[in-house]
Amino acid sequence: MPTILFASSKGGVSKSTSAVVLGTQLATQGATVTMIDADPNHPVATWAKRPGRPETLTVVSDVNERSIIDEIEAAAEQTAFVIVDVEGTASMTVAYAISRADLVIIPVQGSQLDAAEAAKAIKLIHQQEKAFGRRIPYAVLFTRTSAAIQPRTLKHIRAELEGAGVPILRTQMHEREAFRAIFSFGGTVESLRPDQVGGLESAVANARAFTAEVVSLLKTRKVQAEVVA
């Protein structure tokens, strides 16, 4: 079953938030999901301790470089999707996780510093492709963006990445209070109440669009792999 890895060497780019949003959306839609929390701060495991975690979503934590590959392979045999949230540094744990990924999502904010860190993540992906002799699809996800305004800096960075042939998800994870709120109240975006947070309808639509694009991308990559084979 597909393994989706969220990787970034820079903090504050909504890596764990995007991972939890994707995982809960897939589970809410009926899929079985294992989320592997390989971040030393354990943001996903902390979220999972709060009420409202979907029954079909399992969280595995306390993972290190010695166990990460075994955990990914075991989860892939048991659930329809495996989502891995790794630490925000280039380490052997990150490298090993990348080697088993069917899709690496690289969260990036609209800044040149984030773009530079994304380039480091892409370089690590290419290194793992050479080391393990397999193609590892990846895509940049712009996060914490405005739904109404596209700053010139963001447009410039997007143009640079596209010019370099870097795949970019069409859907952006907008700056939404609801995405932060699930770490306070637990559960999913859909389970939040209007008295807890505003803008729920827009947040749900954003989360679903993101999930639909990731699933579509996975299907496309699978077809391409079968054609190459």
Q: 48 φ, ψ to 5°? A: -65, -20
> What residues make up the domain containing 74?
3-228
pLDDT tens-digit series, residues 55-71: 999 999 989 899 999 99
Identity (one letter) of the amino acid at 201?
Answer: E
Predicted pLDDT at 226:
41
Q: How far apart are CA 98 and CA 119, in angstroms?
A: 15
pLDDT tens-digit series, residues 15-51: 999 999 999 999 999 999 999 999 888 999 999 999 9
List, in order, residues 6 or more apart from 157 with CB less than 8 Å away.
108, 110, 111, 112, 114, 115
CATH number at 28 reads 3.40.50.300
Number of domains observed in the structure of the chain: 1
List, in order, residues 6 or more apart from 133 with CB less than 8 Å away.
none
Pick the range with the lowest mean pLDDT from 71-85, 102-116, 194-208: 102-116
Asked if 108 and 118 count as a contact pair (C-beta separation under 8 A), the reply is yes
Identity (one letter) of the amino acid at 192?
Answer: L
Predicted pLDDT at 217:
92
pLDDT tens-digit series, residues 164-183: 999 999 999 999 999 999 99
